[in-house]
Structure 1
Amino acid sequence: MYSESELAGAVEAGALTPEAAAAFRNHVAASRATPAVDEEHFRLLSGFNDIFVTIAAALILLAIGKLGGSLVAAMVGAGPEPHIIGANLIGGGAAVAATSWMLAEYFTARRRLALPSILLLLGLVGGAGATIAGLFVINIPWLETSLHITTELQRGRLAGVVAAVAGTLTALAALVHWRRFMFPITVAAGALAVVGVSVGVITSLIPAARDWVNAILLVGGLGTFVAAMRWDMSDLERRTRRADVAFWLHLAAAPLIAHPVFHMLGVFDGEIGAPMAALVFALYLFFAFVALAVDRRALLVSSLAYVLWAMYSLFHQSGAVELSAAFTGLVIGSALLSLSAFWHPMRRAAVGLLGGFARRLPPTQQGALA
């Protein structure tokens, strides 16, 4: 399967004429009875070779991380536990980050393999974050002495500052990766790093804010969703890399929005009653409306566990103890299959309720435009 961005690249390279690409899109849209944008194309594998390369790269990164950490730990010699942990983080993190970059020069820049590229991106940003964290960890005794840190509260603030600095530099590593490889998931990784930095800074400066982590994550999720929409609105027909970037941003934003909302409601604090279940269903319907309007399904997937639990609790309380799970799966599964089957007409109805704002959303008309 070829993605929209690859079709656009073929047009730019002269391998296909714009008319031929548009005719192909129209043919696919007509044969599937749905606009191309509604398919929300996502290519993770181009063949089994992607899995083969990913396994091989994972083995190499694990081995390099272990060897690099052991080498640096041996060089710095014996010392207190933070000293050894920091040395392992520095050596292993730097080795993994450097190796990930070198492998990405071939498998991401030249081969454009999606699954291995995701692993290598995680290796780069994770290795960079581990290296920065290791530099702080190895200097913890000196930092505590220099800053006169003696209480647990002060240590907690120092940990928050360390996390914020590591997250900031990790986000910068993601930015460098994006500038070099223009790989769509990189932007989402940078957005998650920014959210992590925000949580670290706020909780370190305001210790009481630790009780409001879910609210902070929700704000970060909404910000990530806005960023996703900006990328989406720059390519409404989803023919370029910008649509792929938006896809990953939506995928990152969805759990940051859904999980804090339902956790603040206390959905998993125990069996829920009918009023709470009704609220969960209402929220899920709202998420479904948003998903239909923006033509992205990530919110529905991220909040699925909560609506499953709500319906399971209702069946359980009604007396169907042994068959609660079966009834829940049947009802929710049928609803989701119906939503998938009638996605286009339901989306057309949802977008029709938005008036003039519909012009900023992906088109609902049949076929692809030239």
Structure 2
Amino acid sequence: MYSESDLENAVAAGALTPAQAESFRGYVAAGRHAPMVDEEHFRLLTGFNDVFVGIAAAIMLIAVGALGYYVGPHVGDDGPTPFMGLFVAATAWGLAEFFTRQRRMALPSIILLLAFVGGVFGTIVFGAGTALGDAYFEENGSAVAIVISLGAAVAAAAAWMHWRRFRVPITVAVGAAAVVALVLGLLASGYVTPDMNDADAERMKNVLEPVALLLGLGTFLLAMRWDSSDPRRETRRSDVAFWLHLLAAPLMVHPIFDLLGLTQGAATALGAIAVVVLYVGLGMVALAIDRRALLVSALAYVLFALNRLFETYGVVELNFALTALVIGSSLLLLSAFWASARRAVVNPLPEGLRARLPVLDRSAAVPLPA
């Protein structure tokens, strides 16, 4: 099994000419009766060896983290220590030098990246807990939020360093997630108090959710910037965009559906209809940008909304079965006719906007990104 990244590397190494690589892509697309650009490939496995190495790496990271537990000082009497995160981060970086930088293994690279950034985050948070003492954080939620924000800031810097060294596509999304945590943590620190009540929590939520929505939109625009630089989905830029879309989708979807009462389970029939209409709108956007993450992120909400609608109109016993049948069949039909549906959505759009979207026809003369 060969990925787009493998073809890209083969062209860079001179093993294939650009024309040969393009001919191979066209052959695969013709055999699948669908443009490869619509398959939304992302590199997760290069073979079962990825799973084997990933499991071994995870075991080793757990082991060094456990060893770090025995290197004091601890948070509290027997809590975690900053050396747990430090050992995990250092080990993950060292393993990445071989399995990521030299072997270019997909799944182990993702695991090692997450372990490195998570280890750095844990080092900062546990280090602050050790330095200040757990008593300082008792009934001091504001301090907890600030420490989490500090850890997120350092984790974002660590993700940037990792990207500069290894260029793992998910790294950009992990760094963006750290920035999101930093912003939300700083905002939350201004609302969390020892005597915080339900009204205070509601006020905090009313501030955090719009900010999360804005951060989601910003992440979405960043993803579109990466996507527009590779409209034929032939380089790792497309993989970077995939992970950014996966992060942006819940950040945008959750606040919107929360306003409609879906997260509290209090949706009315009218609200449920609005959810279904909104989901159709998200589907149109997903078709235009050729990304399915929006549909997946909103799936739980639309399932609940349809279930609510069937209950409202008296179909109580079969509501779950009918909901699953409607959604499942609709998504399968959409998947089967994705390319045709994309043409119907994209063709009426202005030329300038179409030029920024993934191509409809892989044979279109679109220059490859550098």
Do both proteins adopt the same fold according to a TM-score greater than 0.5, normalized to the shorter chain?
yes
Q: 1:337 aligns with which of 324, 327, 332?
A: 332
What's the CA shift for 1:299? 0.5
Q: How far apart, CA to CA, are the structure 2 residues paired with 1:243 and 1:98?
A: 29
Amino acid at match of 2:72: V
- Determine the structure 2 residue equivalent to 1:358: 354
Confirm whether residue 264 of structure 1 aligns to residue 256 of structure 2.
Answer: no
What's the CA shift for 1:271? 5.2
What's the CA shift for 1:219? 1.4
Q: 1:201 aligns with which of 164, 186, 190?
A: 186
Structure 1 279/16 Cα, relative in aligned 2: closer, same or farther at 3 Å? same
Moved more, 61-70 or 271-280: 271-280
Deviations 1:19-61 (A, max 9, x none): 1111111212222222221111123122222112111111111
What's the CA shift for 1:303? 0.4
Amino acid at match of 2:119: G
What percent identity do the matched residue pairs reach?
Answer: 51
CA RMSD for the aligned pairs?
2.1
Q: How far apart, CA to CA, are the structure 1 residues paired with 2:97 and 2:86?
A: 17
What's the CA shift for 1:171? 0.4
Q: How far apart, CA to CA, are the structure 1 residues paired with 2:286 and 2:233?
A: 16
| Structure 1 or 2: more helix by fraction | 1
Confirm whether residue 253 of structure 1 aligns to residue 248 of structure 2.
Answer: yes
Q: How far apart, CA to CA, are the structure 2 residues paired with 1:136 and 1:273?
A: 46
Confirm whether residue 122 of structure 1 aligns to residue 133 of structure 2.
Answer: no
Structure 1 128/83 Cα, relative in aligned 2: closer, same or farther at 3 Å? farther
CA contact (8 A) 1:271 1:313 kept: no
What's the CA shift for 1:213? 2.1
What's the CA shift for 1:108? 1.1
CA contact (8 A) 2:232 2:362 kept: no
Deviations 1:125-179 (A, max 9, x none): 11100100112111224995xxxx9x95xx3332222111111000011011101
Q: Could you list the runs of 5+ residues in structure 2 that have no partner in the other structure?
A: 193-199
Task: Give the alignment's TM-score, normalised by structure 1.
Answer: 0.90
Confirm whether residue 49 of structure 1 aligns to residue 44 of structure 2.
Answer: no
- Determine the structure 1 residue equivalent to 2:18: 18
Q: How far apart, CA to CA, are the structure 1 residues paired with 2:336 and 2:133?
A: 61
Q: How far apart, CA to CA, are the structure 1 residues paired with 2:19 and 2:134?
A: 66
Q: Which has the higher contact order (CA 8 A, sep 6+)?
A: 1
Moved more, 199-208 or 48-57: 199-208
Moved more, 35-44 or 276-285: 35-44
Please give the residue correspondences for 1:85-124 in structure 2 after superposition, counting only pairs within 5 Å.
85=79, 88-124=80-116
CA contact (8 A) 1:129 1:167 kept: yes
Confirm whether residue 304 of structure 1 aligns to residue 299 of structure 2.
Answer: yes
CA contact (8 A) 1:25 1:368 kept: no
- Determine the structure 2 residue equivalent to 1:168: 153
Amino acid at match of 2:230: D
- Determine the structure 1 residue equivalent to 2:34: 34
Structure 1 58/331 Cα, relative in aligned 2: closer, same or farther at 3 Å? same
Q: 2:204 aligns with which of 187, 210, 229?
A: 210
Amino acid at match of 1:106: F
Q: Could you list the runs of 5+ residues in structure 1 that have no partner in the other structure?
A: none
Structure 1 142/267 Cα, relative in aligned 2: closer, same or farther at 3 Å? closer
Q: How far apart, CA to CA, are the structure 2 residues paired with 1:34 and 1:270?
A: 40
Q: How far apart, CA to CA, are the structure 1 residues paired with 2:134 and 2:76?
A: 11
Q: How far apart, CA to CA, are the structure 2 residues paired with 1:174 and 1:28?
A: 35
Q: 1:223 aligns with which of 204, 209, 218?
A: 218
CA contact (8 A) 2:88 2:119 kept: yes
Matched residues, number: 355
